[in-house]
Structure 1
């Protein structure tokens, strides 16, 4: 490079650096002043014991997670699912069927890509599905995953509720039996629990319970815990392990993250959305703190080894924290995995995402350590 050109280039670079430094110096006092004002306002608002007042803020997408996870975190709210409030039974049916039909093509495509087959089956008089991977590893032959789908007791009827079962089959390499339990508005509590109970009994009629794991996310996680309480009370053999993912363990709005993660979770968003309506619709007048509806209020002594899954933005994170504490106090073998930035149950949304394989890989590792062979 000629000397004159080098000098000119250096001069331009130096000028740019000086301008940037000047801009930074000009901005720094304003930023400091803004923070000082915010600091004073927050100190004033929180100067006495009571509820915590927080300023309006924008929470960035974490930069230390992979691109697929960033896409999940950055996604907009899931409407109309999160804020649904249908006026009557017919409107509930229309919404649930619309969402279910929309899910079917994606599930069929994912099963084909993952090499999973789906077959309808009857389980003790209850509808269900058997999902089978392309190959079952030797270590998992004879073992069965019994899956209870999520959906707030209203979403995910039929084949539309088989995403988690598909992922357990594909990533874990298990035969998975999924129960298609009845739901409100036609069949409120205790129909779902009756069906989950009947399906489980049908599975263990042919399989050693110690070779069975019960896996469910969200409502399915809450039902998994409630099913353990019911089986224990009825003297039925419990499975070798369970994996309640972000369980709806408390149908009441109890727990810190119902507020701290409100409007941050882009899946559930707020308890005041469809959750509150679905809870009342399912309970049909029963006490929401009945352990068969909110298992967090039950006795966890004697439950099988348990692995719990959640994310830092999950509206139900406190449900999981409280559940783990109760399990630990009851002496139950338990593990908790919490993923950076994830909202409620987002590990089910993208079969190709690294976080999805990580979640189900960890569940498989846990089950490998506790199921009989």
Structure 2
């Protein structure tokens, strides 16, 4: 664990959001987000490595990095935020760097969020996007972080259920794979975020009428046998660590081509923190996977 990662962990602990402090605070946050969620996302003004633009596709705002015609690969990036919070600058800068280094056109849907929306609308949007990208005949990677990582995994399970082709790669950065939070989390050494009850409350809003253990919202419980090459990242200092260990075993037992990268002493979604040395190593590995150079 590097000195910089310790600094980041300290900062995360100090900036601990109140909505992780229990069901009551989570509900307050959901109420607040219900008034903000449908506002259009504005791309931050800064210098980017690639062409970055906003487009409306399939009734959804999407941020695109790189031109499709000039790119050799395609990436669908699903951002995290407990299915409630919008995309943030670290996601944007990560996608920008990824598009440049992997020579890829990256699509980042600003997908509908809870509590105003449920998983169902987003599935329709991502499916239409994916089917369109299949017609371009370039290697596709589906990936995401946290909630978006869980969505990426679940969507690939959904593709299998519906007899649709899998992408070349599935990459999950600390994917949230059980929104019911039904596991045993007592052995987690330390997590500056935490909030099991709060997470479950956010998950309920996203699931709508679905059972919280339905694979479409909790892919830990789905059929994984047809998943593509899968690359996972998780830190030992995050509450989702034990779920990821279960999921990795399930994939290996099902003979899925899977790799689990464990960040010792690292926090949730550590690969997207740009100043942490461990994140730079993880980023390079992600690029190598997409380039098929791992």
TM-score interval (norm. to shorter): 0.7 to 0.9
Q: Does 2:261 correspond to 1:334?
A: no
State the match for 2:157 in structure 1: 229
Of 262, 271, 275 in structure 2, the residue corresponding to residue 352 of structure 1 is 275
Give, in angstroms, the shift of residue 305 of structure 1. 0.3
The 1:132/1:335 distance shift into structure 2, 3 A limit, reads same
Greater helix share, structure number: 1
Deviates further, 187-196 or 236-245: 187-196
State the match for 2:227 in structure 1: 303
- Show CA shifts across 1:172-194 (max 9, x none): 44321111211121112312222
Greater relative CO, 1 or 2 (CA 8 Å, sep 6+): 2
How well do the aligned residues superpose, as a CA RMSD in angstroms?
3.0
State the match for 1:54 in structure 2: none
Q: Does 2:10 correspond to 1:74?
A: yes
Structure 2 unmatched runs, 5+: none
Q: Tell me, in whole angstroms, the C-alpha distance in 2 between the residues paired with 1:146 and 1:130.
A: 10
Of 47, 57, 72 in structure 2, the residue corresponding to residue 142 of structure 1 is 72
Q: Tell me, in whole angstroms, the C-alpha distance in 2 between the residues paired with 1:259 and 1:80.
A: 21
State the match for 2:182 in structure 1: 254
State the match for 2:285 in structure 1: 362
State the match for 2:55 in structure 1: 121
State the match for 1:130 in structure 2: 64
Task: Kindly name which structure, 1 or 2, has the bigger radius of gyration based on alpha carbons.
Answer: 1
1:141-180 alignment runs, 5 A limit: 141-157=71-87, 162-180=92-110
State the match for 1:47 in structure 2: none
Q: 2:62 aligns to what SS in structure 1?
A: strand
Structure 1 segments (4+ residues) deviating >6 Å = 95-98
Q: Does 2:192 correspond to 1:266?
A: yes
The 1:359/1:192 distance shift into structure 2, 3 A limit, reads same
State the match for 1:240 in structure 2: 168
Task: Indicate conservation of the 8 Å contact 2:72/2:104, yes or no.
Answer: no
Of 239, 242, 260 in structure 2, the residue corresponding to residue 315 of structure 1 is 239
Give, in angstroms, the shift of residue 236 of structure 1. 1.6
State the match for 1:218 in structure 2: 146
State the match for 1:53 in structure 2: none
Give, in angstroms, the shift of residue 125 of structure 1. 3.5
1:47-58 alignment runs, 5 A limit: none
1:182-201 alignment runs, 5 A limit: 182-201=112-131
State the match for 1:275 in structure 2: 199
- Show CA shifts across 1:214-254 (max 9, x none): 11111111111111111112222211111011111111223
TM-score by length of 2: 0.86
Q: Tell me, in whole angstroms, the C-alpha distance in 1 between the residues paired with 2:88 and 2:2.
A: 32
Q: Does 2:21 correspond to 1:85?
A: no
Give, in angstroms, the shift of residue 159 of structure 1. 7.4
1:280-299 alignment runs, 5 A limit: 280-299=204-223
The 1:340/1:325 distance shift into structure 2, 3 A limit, reads same
Structure 1 unmatched runs, 5+: 1-64
